[in-house]
Each structure stands twice: as structure tokens, then as C-alpha cells.
Amino acid sequence: MHNNAGIGGTFRDSILDEEKSDYERVISVNLVGTFLGIKHAARAMIPNGRGSILTTASVASVVGGVAPYGYTSSKHAVVGLTRNAAVDLGRYGIRVNCLSPHLLETPLTKGYYKMPAEELSKVYSTFKGEELTAEDVAEAALFLASDESRYLNGENMVVDGGFTIVNPNLCIYK
């Protein structure tokens, strides 16, 4: 089962401008929705003695400053929720893993940035010559859901072309 619903919230210039209601709405959908998805999927999987649950976080679960407060907070929390559920549900033969993709242009992300998503992928990646596609994320999700990843549990697979592994301003390789 793949928990893949989410909303972004509203970009604000500062935490001082954040609206509590917007923050709570994003947390409710992204985090509480994921919690409920795991809970109900586990109920269906426990009698079978096996299963695979996949959650979706984001590169915002690994670095700060790339998304609104509610979104970033919720995605960090989804990783923690995933790991906790992996320990709990592992005793029933159920694996719980997380997928954290870089930005893809979707209705959720359209309009957030001042450049098209494919340009962001080119700028903010160490893997030149390739652009992140929905198919790349789908293939990673299929792998985590499949028996090929049968010994992975509690992982957060970041699909970002190396975006989160380096500060481009400090990189010695230009």
C-alpha cells in the first residue's frame, strides 16, 4: 500500500507570517493522513503475516528551506512515523519504508518556484545529464514495494540526483 497523498501549504516569507490554520491543515493531511493509512493497511495485512507499506516524504524531510513550514515539518514527521511503524509492524512481517523524491512538476508544486520543475532538477542535482521524471519515482516506489527489497525496513529512499548530499556553494567540483 502506498500513502502518496499530500498538500504543500502556502509559501510565506517568514515563520512570523505563518498562519496556524494553514500549518495545522498541512499536518492533518500529510502526517495524520499517513498515520491513518498505515494503521488501516496494517489491519488488513497482519492476518496475512506479511505486507509492504510505502509512505511518501520529500527532500524537505532531509534539508530545510526548500518548502513551507507545514510541509517540511510534516515530511520530517512522516520519516519518523515510518521508522516507528517499521519497528512495530516488522514483528508481523510487514515492511514500512519511505520514499523522498526531489521536486516534480505536479499540481502541488506548480507555481511554487520561479522556474519550471525540469529546470530545478537540472540546477539542483549533482547528476548532470539526467532529469528526474515521475517514472523514476514510480520505479523507486515499485522497488520498495516489491520482494526485491524484502530486507529493507524503515528506510527513507531519497530520489534526488544527489541534491541532498552537498551544498553546491561549497562543492570543490565545479
Residue-level pLDDT at 113: 65
Residue-level pLDDT at 85: 99
- Asked whether residue 148 is domain-assigned, the answer is yes
Inform me whether the pLDDT recorded for 109 exceeds 90: no
- Asked whether residue 109 is domain-assigned, the answer is yes
Closest to 101 in 3D by CA, of 84, 80, 85, 117: 117
| β-bridge mates for residue 95, sequence order | 52
Options 58, 100, 125, 149, the catalytic residue: 58
| Cβ-contact 8, 109 below 8 angstroms | yes
- The pTM score is 0.91
CA 49 and chain centroid, separation: 26
Options 75, 100, 121, 125, the catalytic residue: 75
Mean pLDDT estimate for the chain: 90
| Cβ-contact 124, 102 below 8 angstroms | yes
- Asked whether residue 6 is domain-assigned, the answer is yes
Active site annotation includes 75:
yes
SS3 per-residue string spanning the chain:
CEECCCCCCCCCCCHHHCCHHHHHHHHHHHHHHHHHHHHHHHHHHHHHCCEEEEEECCHHHCCCCCCCHHHHHHHHHHHHHHHHHHHHHHCCCEEEEEEEECCCCCCCCCCCCCCCHHHHHHHCCCCCCCCCCHHHHHHHHHHHHCHHHCCCCCCEEEECCCHHHCCCCCCCCC
Q: List pLDDT tens digits, range 122-151.
A: 666 677 777 888 899 999 999 999 999 999
Options 23, 52, 69, 71, the catalytic residue: 71
Distance from the first to the final alpha carbon of the chain: 41
Residue-level pLDDT at 117: 60
Q: List pLDDT tens digits, range 20-77.
A: 999 999 999 999 999 999 999 999 999 999 999 999 999 999 999 889 999 999 999 9
- Asked whether residue 174 is domain-assigned, the answer is no
Q: List pLDDT tens digits, range 84-107.
A: 999 999 999 999 999 999 888 776
Active site annotation includes 125:
no
| Cβ-contact 161, 104 below 8 angstroms | no
Closest to 35 in 3D by CA, of 21, 55, 50, 18: 55
- Asked whether residue 150 is domain-assigned, the answer is yes
Q: What CATH number is given to the structural domain containing 160?
A: 3.40.50.720
Greater pLDDT, 160 or 167:
160
Give residue 65's domain range: 2-165
- Asked whether residue 170 is domain-assigned, the answer is no
- Asked whether residue 23 is domain-assigned, the answer is yes
- Asked whether residue 171 is domain-assigned, the answer is no
Structural domain total, the chain:
1
